[in-house]
Structure 1
Amino acid sequence: MTLTVEPLVGSTRVVVLAPDGRVVRDQAAEFHRFGISIVLRQDILAALTEVVHDPTAMLVVSADIPCQELRDVLDVAVATCGSSVLLGLTATTDTGAVGAALRAGVRSTVDLPLTAERLARTFRALPAKAASTGPIMIGNLTVDAARHRIDWAGAPVEASPREFAVMLQLAQNHPHMVALDELAAGYQGSSVDPYASVRVVINHLRSRIAQVTGARGTAIIETVRGVGYRLAG
């Protein structure tokens, strides 16, 4: 299977705030092919100036910024940016940083380094701004984006940032299925097999749920054979 995505309609300008240019993998021409214009800035004031001058520009903030400074940067970024702010995830990003970002008003996350296809898929999957930010409750399951928390009948279910992102995507689409291609989009451009990575995440989530519920995780996260996954209930 091959991940494919159509170019975005119109032109989307993206300002990336990061310590260095290694957070962007593709060349400018590849981003342009997907309807994306990339501007890389290492200074917060320079990045904010970009989004002030262009209120339609999206802002990606790398989680490589030191933790305390990152919280301050995200607060200012969300208050300043007229469009969407995303948190760029690295291999060392912890759950606490993602939870703080969501509470600050960040609309989504995207894995770094950035590729044109990964970024385009992330933009297409962004939740509507008008959508409720409250917890999603499906039977005994609660997925709370603001607190970055999964509960089963009040008991917390531990999850890594990637596992939480997958569970949130499943909850937001319940009772419908989420295609494997959509779940795998976050791994596009990385060195790992995106489909195998999704299956590993699903297996981890099922194991974590089973530890809390005592039931088989497959009874909570159902497989639509060869197509995708959905939450039961």
Structure 2
Amino acid sequence: MGAYLLVAEDDWGQAEVLRRYLVAEGHETVVVHDGRAALAEVRRRAPDLLVLDVMMPGLDGLSLCRILRRESDVPILMLTARSSEDDLLTGLDLGADDYLTKPYSPRELLARTRALLRRSRGGTGSLTVGRLTVDPARHEVTADGKPVDCTPGEFAILAAMAAQPDRVFTRAQLLQHTNGVERDSIERSIDVHVLNLRRKIEPNPRRPSRLVTVYGLGYKLTAATG
């Protein structure tokens, strides 16, 4: 079912490319080119998802995100050309739900929008990343067609990452997902969970291709390539 999406992107050409892909996906899509126009549009008609560029005139994306989080829970997918850890995480700390670093592929953007819309609508269907499937409703995991036994903490991490494939999660962010089942966990416990998960879901745990490290940032879950 299509959704109502708002794209805030000051590059007119890039905005039109995004609009066409999102419309082809079946979404009603409105485009604005500066932060103040985006704020006014969100207040006029709350979108199901906001695709928000960081660098915009008038009111930048980070400032807009800060304002919106005081008055709205609209899912926000942030687009940024910045690549340092601090810059990437600032948007998430301000309340963005996910981010993409430019340049990105339209297919990846569509995958992220699907995941965010599914989460915001409370979907409980299976999450599939390559040959790995996570079923939150049944609390089941399969890898290459074989069942995988996970502890509650491991499952919480895997479910969070499977909902947003290829997104980089810091240890602190993953820890937030385990706090409900492991109240006394610390950030370094995430490394232990990741090592254990790799033994269970990786074809070769010593050379992980699914649950991979992004050095200086954290971990991401991606479709195995080999």
- TM-score when normalising by structure 2: 0.50
Given candidates 7, 12, 17, the residue that maps to 2:8 is 17
- How far apart in 1 are the matches of 2:200 and 2:31? 37
Report percent identity of matched pairs.
16
Q: Deviations over 1:62-109 (max 9, x none)?
A: 12349x95432220133344521121132x332212222112111111
**Relative to structure 1, is the Cα distance of residues 137 and 55 closer, same or farther in structure 2, using a 3 angstrom cutoff?**
same
Larger relative contact order (C-alpha < 8 A, sep ≥ 6)? 1
Given candidates 23, 27, 40, the residue that maps to 2:31 is 40
Task: Note if 1:144 corresponds to 2:172.
Answer: yes
**Relative to structure 1, is the Cα distance of residues 70 and 95 closer, same or farther in structure 2, using a 3 angstrom cutoff?**
farther
**Relative to structure 1, is the Cα distance of residues 27 and 47 closer, same or farther in structure 2, using a 3 angstrom cutoff?**
closer
- State how 1:120-139 maps to structure 2 within 5 Å: 120-126=110-116, 128=119
State the partner residue of 1:217. Answer: none
Q: How far has the Cα of 1:43 moved from its partner? A: 2.3
Given candidates 92, 95, 102, the residue that maps to 1:105 is 95
SS, match of residue 74 in structure 2? coil
Equivalent pairs, count: 164
Q: Deviations over 1:97-137 (max 9, x none)?
A: 2222112111111344676533331022238468xxxxx96
- How far apart in 1 are the matches of 2:111 and 2:102? 14
- TM-score when normalising by structure 1: 0.49
Q: Which runs of 5+ in 1 are unaligned?
A: 1-8, 131-135, 156-169, 179-197, 210-219
Q: Which runs of 5+ in 2 are unaligned?
A: 123-151, 158-169, 177-185, 203-207
Task: Note if 1:50 corresponds to 2:41.
Answer: yes
- How far apart in 1 are the matches of 2:44 and 2:80? 26
**Relative to structure 1, is the Cα distance of residues 144 and 115 closer, same or farther in structure 2, using a 3 angstrom cutoff?**
same
SS, match of residue 110 in structure 1? strand
Task: Give RMSD over aligned pairs.
Answer: 5.1
The residue type paired with residue 8 of structure 2 is L
The residue type paired with residue 172 of structure 2 is D
- How far apart in 1 are the matches of 2:175 and 2:13? 30
- State how 1:1-233 maps to structure 2 within 5 Å: 9-10=1-2, 12-24=3-15, 26=17, 28-65=19-56, 69-90=60-81, 92-112=82-102, 117-126=107-116, 128=119, 143-145=171-173, 151-152=187-188, 202=212, 205=213, 228=224
- How far apart in 2 are the matches of 1:46 and 1:122? 24
- How far apart in 1 are the matches of 2:175 and 2:86? 9
